[in-house]
Structures are given as structure tokens and as C-alpha cells.
Amino acid sequence: MVFYFTGTGNSLYAARQLESEPVSIPQVMRGTQREFTAESIGIISPIYGHELPPMVKDFLRESTFNTDYFYIIVTYGARHGGAAEMAKALCDECGVRVDYINTLHMADNWLPAFDTDEERALDKRIPEQLAAITAGVKARKHGISPVTDADRTAHQQYLANVSGVPEALWQNFVVVTERCVGCGVCTRVCPADCMKLEDGRAVHIPGNCQDCLACAHACPQKAIALAMPEKNPNARYRNEHVTLQDLIAANGKA
């Protein structure tokens, strides 16, 4: 059994390499089922600010996993900042016994800092990474990926950089512009139900936003911008192995 959270398809693609029909965490969180039993259970998720998204943290806190082997794979773009170590600490806090944690280097889709057109062109040796991770899970490998002092320093620097950012900004990070035509795609790819249509126009609802930017990346009109400058406002990203319908199935209301 493999669970995943995805905004632009990277973690969904990775999850499919481990199981043909992985389970969407946003869909689980809309229901009441919180106890899961399987021989092996894994979570595949991106990291935001080097940590698991709030919804994935809630999933871990609220769920019971009955399994002989539990693992987490985190996908990241530029740097992981010791994400494996922080994921292990969260599991310890939640009383979840985790056997294996690894990282997967993929395209970075954080629009304020990265040009996703450039990211798409980089060769990050994803097939080789996935082969090693798949082999590790199949062999029931134990342990977490190495974390260095430089990784920890990178995370502390990130925390220092965002320390002056008002907390409210992260819940009002998405800006719908006049280019919106009310197609509703954003409402169907948002994992946290933070987008709705009102008078034929998309509206962002703060409060539970995961800052995954699924809405911005998926908007066919590029009508969703951010509350801070973007590296390349014309660049948007979706994993080449994942379709828009895949993202809608993963994150949209049934």
C-alpha cells in the first residue's frame, strides 16, 4: 500500500513506480478511514521548506498503520535540507515506527525561486534514483538517507530567511488575476479545496492552503500568480508522465 501527496505530479509518478494504484492522501483526508493494514506501507510526498506538507503531517498524526514495513520517500528540487531527519522526528512524535526514509531529487516547481522550464531540462538521473529506491523497498532496507551538517545549516538558513515573512502570507499566497476565464481547473486540482468559482471567476479561500501551487501550475490561462515575484512568470510545470486528469483524480472532489 502506497499513499501519496502531489501538486504537479512528481510524487504521483514516483508512487506509481512502487505500486500501480497508489492512494491519494487528499482523498483519504476527505473521508473517515484512518486505520490501514498491509504487509508494506509507504508514503511518497514532496517537501515544502524541507518539511512534509501540513496535510501529510496531519495524515501521519491521525492514522494507524498496521504493517511489518513502513517507509517514506520525499521528493525535492534544489536541496532537501535534512528532510529525512525531520520526517523521522515527526514519525517518532506521532508514534509511527518508520523503517526506511529516502530522498528523491526531481524538478523543483517552487515558482518564486526556480524557472521550471530550466528545471525540466536538467538531467537529475531520476530513473536511476527510482531504481535504487524501488530496490531498497523491495529488499526491506532499513535506515534513513544521510543528513549532513550542511543540510541542517541549509534548513536553518531557510528558517532565518522566512522568519520575517508574515504567517498570513502563506495563506494568501495565491493571486487570481484578470486573465481568469472561470474554467474551474484550479478548483479540481487543489488538494485542500481552497479554490472555488464565484460569479464565473476563481477565488482562493485561505485557511487550509498547502502552498503546493497546483492551481498556478495547472491553470491553462496562467491566470494564477503569486504574492511575490516569480523567477519566470511564463513557466509552469507538470510531470511529463502525469496528465491533468491524473491530478484531478488525485486531488479533486469525487
pLDDT in tens, 133-163: 999 999 999 999 999 999 999 999 999 988 8
pLDDT value of residue 229: 94
Indicate whether 240 and 186 sit together in one domain: yes
pLDDT digits (tens, 9 = 90+) for 16-53: 999 999 999 999 999 999 999 999 999 999 999 999 99
- Rounded mean pLDDT of 112-136? 96
Strands (E), 69-204: 69-76, 100-105, 143-144, 174-176, 195-198, 201-204
The CATH number for 205's domain is 3.30.70.20
pLDDT at 167: 83
Is residue 148 located within the same domain as residue 222? Answer: no
CATH number for 47:
3.40.50
- Give the span between the Cα atoms of 103 and 129, in whole angstroms: 9
198 and 89 in a single domain? The answer is: no
Is-above-0.85 flag for pTM? yes
**Can you tell me the mean pLDDT for 112-140?**
96
> Are 149 and 181 contained in the same domain?
no
Per-residue model confidence as pLDDT tens digits over 163-197: 888 888 889 999 999 999 999 999 999 999 999 99
Please identify, among 135, 161, 187, the residue that sits at the C-terminal boundary of a domain.
161
Work out whether strand 195-198 and strand 201-204 pair parallel, antiparallel, or are unpaired: antiparallel
| Residue 208 sits in the same domain as residue 154 | no
- Tell me, rounded to whole angstroms, the distance of Cα 202 from its chain centroid: 22
- Residue 211's region, left for phi above 0, alpha for psi from -120 to 50, else beta, is left
Assess whether 79 and 157 both reside in one domain: yes
pLDDT, average across residues 205-231: 96
What are 53-104's pLDDT values in tens digits? 999 999 999 999 999 999 999 999 999 999 999 999 999 999 999 999 999 9
For range 207-226, the mean pLDDT: 96
- The number of distinct structural domains making up the chain is 2
* Dihedral over Cα of 207, 210, 211, 215: its sign: negative
Print burial letters for 15-25: b (CB count within 10 Å at least 16), e (below 16).
Answer: bbbbbeebbbb
Do 135 and 173 fall within a single domain? no
pLDDT at 206: 94
In the predicted model, what is the mean pLDDT of residues 214-235?
96
Question: What is the spatial distance between Cα 136 and Cα 48, in angstroms, rounded to a whole number?
Answer: 24
- Apex 108 CA angle, 241 and 128, nearest 5: 55
Pair 200, 80 in one domain? no
Is the pLDDT score of 254 beyond 80? Answer: no
Backbone angles phi, psi at 39, to 5 degrees: -60, -35
Instruction: Check whether 108 has a pLDDT greater than 80.
Output: yes
Q: What is the pLDDT of residue 208?
A: 95
Of 113, 135, 161, the last residue of a domain is: 161
Tell me the average pLDDT of the chain.
Answer: 96
Range of the domain at 61: 2-161
* 150 and 186 share one domain: no
Query: What are the DSSP E strand ranges found in 47-98?
Result: 64-66, 69-76
Q: Do 231 and 237 form a contact (C-beta atoms < 8 A)?
A: no
Among residues 2, 3, 6, 1, the alpha carbon closest in space to that of 247 is found at: 6
Please indicate, yes or no, whether residues 34 and 63 belong to a single structural domain of this protein. Answer: yes
Are 230 and 148 in a shared domain?
no
Q: Among residues of the chain, what percentage have pLDDT more than 70?
A: 100
> Same structural domain for residues 153 and 179?
no
Name residues whose C-beta falls within 8 Å of residue 38's C-beta, 6 or more positions apart in sequence. 1, 66, 67
